[in-house]
Structure 1
Amino acid sequence: MRATPPVEDLGEGLWSVPVPIPGNPLGYTLVYVVEDPRGPVLVDAGWPHEDAWRALTEGLAAIGTGVAEVRGVVLTHFHPDHSGLAGRVREASGAWVALHEADAALVRRLRAHTPEEHRDLQADRLAEAGASPEEVARLRADPPRMAAPEPPDRELADGDLLDLARRKLRAVWTPGHSPGHICLHLEDADVLFTGDHVLPRITPHLGLYTLDTDEDPLTTYLGSLTGLAAVPATRALPAHEHRFSGPAARAGEIAAHHEDKLERLAALLNARPATLWDLSARLPWARPWADMGATARRMAAAETAAHLRTLERRGRARRTPAPGGAAGWTAPAPAPGPAPAP
């Protein structure tokens, strides 16, 4: 577990308030405070937990303000370690909460189902991926995930400016990690809040949770990484780990990592056909497959599915539907060579 760093004055009217994520190896979310004459605006809000709430409120007090003074919360994306406390901040202060329109639409869809329904749907998808009955039962026995966040007050589109009095904070749509993930360019301070899109050491989760869709989150993400080259910011303030310089250069490193993973996966397919679950178990991960819990394996399989979808779009993987059973994946047959000369 990472040690939680202290509250920091970053200069130019910016502060970093680390908010813990209890029981999660990420350790904490870095909530950023942007000073504004009408009240501070938060970039992300943190995990929904009493320890996180205490850290957020004490951190705001340490910089000379309070949760009741918060004027707005802009979320880089809807995941609970970013959005979880936004509703509570809104209740305490009357602050607006802003989220990209694509994630806002996803939140509305998620709220139409209970956490138990979502868990059971994911278990059904594990069976379709080729997981054993024991593995599927293990996921069904897990406690359901927390409910989806409340809908935002304001929906953002690419290029929108946030409502700040003396600053220019612009939304940069960077889909991939979530459909509506945004970075935020503070144009008057050469700063890019990168959320989870670009992190200094690790890479964000990219998951395809159902194959019954045309979505291709990895290709979308790679395009978003390329787009960062057009953002004139050299200082990156990510939501996890630590600050760094050169977000566009780091984006190139992350893209190369995923291209390497695509090659590894293609090599497995060239060796023999396999199910999604089998391929996931044979890929390298931060933790050995045998040590992963049910939820971690589900996320690994979703990430493998995202890479398979990209290989499929590139003509390097083919899915064989199997009604009533697990679908198989194989490398496409080589194109026939020229006919021999008579």
Structure 2
Amino acid sequence: MTSTLEYPFDTLPPTGETCEVAPGVHWIRMPLPFALNHINLWLIEDGDGVVIVDTGYGLDASQEAWNTILAGLGRPVTRIIVTHCHPDHLGLAQWLSEKTGAPVTMTLGEFLGGHALWNQLPGYNTSAMITQFRQHGLDEERCIALANRGNAYKRGVPSLPACYDRVIDGDSLEIGQRSWKVIVGHGHSPEHMSLHCESAGLLISGDMLLPRISTNVSVFAATPDDDPLGRFLDSIRTFKQLPVATLVLPSHGSPFRNIGLRVDQLIEHHDDRCAELLAACTVPRCAGELLTTLFPRELDTHQVMFAMGEAIAHLNHLARKREVCRSVESDGIVRFIKSHQ
């Protein structure tokens, strides 16, 4: 294993254009209205048609880019695959399905997760999230900012598919006479789908494996004591079984090789985060107090949502490993303190 990640592509595809990364597989890059300002989408040639993998955030600019790309294809769309339910991936799936007539393929967890967020179901709505964050010590000013922001999910996902083709872990999708194996991962979203094509040496990793940033892992109000970080780490370890020469096609950043090294880097990153939190918990501390330990930079409201979810996830992981004890104080705040071992 080499000691660095390898990036075989020096240039990025302009918005509305595609770049071939392997025979019959094309890279699309579209804008996002956040600090993380882009998402990678993929086209896979499917005989006389083409399969879309992920769809982009519900922006006019993304729809315009898709209109340009679809007009230049000269072939029908046969399937729309959604790796997971987050807005930059699911956002334009229904719009594209209506436009092309192609069915949407995803896992059950992501289909239901998207509907839970879009419809603001109990445990997945804004008020439940803010209640959870207050219980973990987030200051009132930031809680009010999140409340004023409202249902941001629905802005990125203007409409949702009412039906879909379901896949589960281990399924194979036949696309263009090649087999793509479904690898379901957990922690970032309910049942995130990555796709591995052994014959082509490709992994469409979605958000489960990113080259330069760490994937967000958050605790939802519906499952307050869950350990999504443990699930995420278990999931990415399975990628180490893939050949080292595998070209990883991530949702953010550039395609890269040396998959095992990246998995090791991410595990070390989260181990370091947990160690920092453990060192800070010699006295009872809440997630709100520990935000600056994990994220010393200034955070906007969008980033605060992810940061709080991630802080709780790391603390829950330490609690699951019995390295910290969790308690609810008389003020109703959830706090964590290093265990006596």
TM range (shorter): 0.7 to 0.9
> Which residue of structure 2 aligns with residue 138 of structure 1?
145
> Which residue of structure 1 aligns with residue 228 of structure 2?
217
Query: For residues 65 and 24 of structure 1, do their structure 2 counterparts lie closer, same or farther at Cα, with a shift above 3 Å needed?
Result: farther
> Which residue of structure 2 aligns with residue 12 of structure 1?
23
Would the aligned equivalents of 1:29 and 1:81 in 2 still touch at CA under 8 Å?
Answer: yes
Would the aligned equivalents of 1:107 and 1:151 in 2 still touch at CA under 8 Å?
Answer: no
Identical-pair percentage: 27
Report the AA paired with residue 5 of structure 1. P
> Which residue of structure 2 aligns with residue 56 of structure 1?
66
> Which residue of structure 1 aligns with residue 295 of structure 2?
284
How many Å separate the matches in 2 of 1:122 and 1:213? 10
Query: For residues 43 and 83 of structure 1, do their structure 2 counterparts lie closer, same or farther at Cα, with a shift above 3 Å needed?
Result: same
Residue deviations 1:14-60, cap 9 Å, x none? 11111211x22222211110001241001111111110111123234
Would the aligned equivalents of 2:227 and 2:317 in 1 still touch at CA under 8 Å?
Answer: yes
Q: Does 1:169 align with 2:180?
A: yes
> Which residue of structure 1 aligns with residue 120 of structure 2?
113
Q: Which of 226, 244, 253 is the equivalent residue of 2:265?
A: 253
Q: Does 1:321 align with 2:328?
A: yes
Residue deviations 1:175-232, cap 9 Å, x none? 1211211210122211001111111111111111338544211000100111012234
Residue range with higher mean Cα deviation, 85-94 or 224-233: 224-233
Q: What RMSD over aligned residues (CA atoms) do the two structures have, in Å?
A: 2.2
Residue range with higher mean Cα deviation, 34-43 or 135-144: 135-144
> Which residue of structure 1 aligns with residue 7 of structure 2?
none
Q: Does 1:41 align with 2:48?
A: no
Q: Does 1:101 align with 2:108?
A: yes
> Which residue of structure 1 aligns with residue 5 of structure 2?
none
How many Å separate the matches in 2 of 1:74 and 1:155? 10
Matches within 5 A, 1:84-99: 84-99=91-106
Report the AA paired with residue 57 of structure 2. W
Q: Which of 205, 211, 230 is the equivalent residue of 1:200?
A: 211
Q: Does 1:78 align with 2:76?
A: no
How many Å separate the matches in 1 of 2:302 and 2:37? 18
Larger radius of gyration: 1
Q: Does 1:184 align with 2:159?
A: no
How many Å separate the matches in 2 of 1:70 and 1:138? 41
> Which residue of structure 1 aligns with residue 240 of structure 2?
229
Shift of 1:114: 6.9
Shift of 1:152: 4.8
Q: Which of 117, 130, 135 is the equivalent residue of 1:128?
A: 135
TM-score scaled by length of structure 2: 0.87
Q: Does 1:156 align with 2:194?
A: no
Would the aligned equivalents of 1:226 and 1:251 in 2 still touch at CA under 8 Å?
Answer: yes
How many Å separate the matches in 2 of 1:136 and 1:173? 33
Q: Does 1:27 align with 2:34?
A: no
Would the aligned equivalents of 1:19 and 1:30 in 2 still touch at CA under 8 Å?
Answer: yes
Q: 5+ residue gaps in structure 1? A: 336-342
With CA pairs under 8 Å and 6+ residues apart, which has the higher RCO, 1 or 2?
Answer: 2
Query: For residues 104 and 242 of structure 1, do their structure 2 counterparts lie closer, same or farther at Cα, with a shift above 3 Å needed?
Result: same
How many Å separate the matches in 2 of 1:43 and 1:131? 37
Query: For residues 86 and 219 of structure 1, do their structure 2 counterparts lie closer, same or farther at Cα, with a shift above 3 Å needed?
Result: same
How many Å separate the matches in 2 of 1:27 and 1:139? 21
Would the aligned equivalents of 1:200 and 1:242 in 2 still touch at CA under 8 Å?
Answer: yes
Query: For residues 39 and 324 of structure 1, do their structure 2 counterparts lie closer, same or farther at Cα, with a shift above 3 Å needed?
Result: farther
Shift of 1:104: 2.1
Q: Count residues with an aligned counterpart.
A: 322
Shift of 1:128: 0.9
How many Å separate the matches in 2 of 1:211 and 1:330? 24
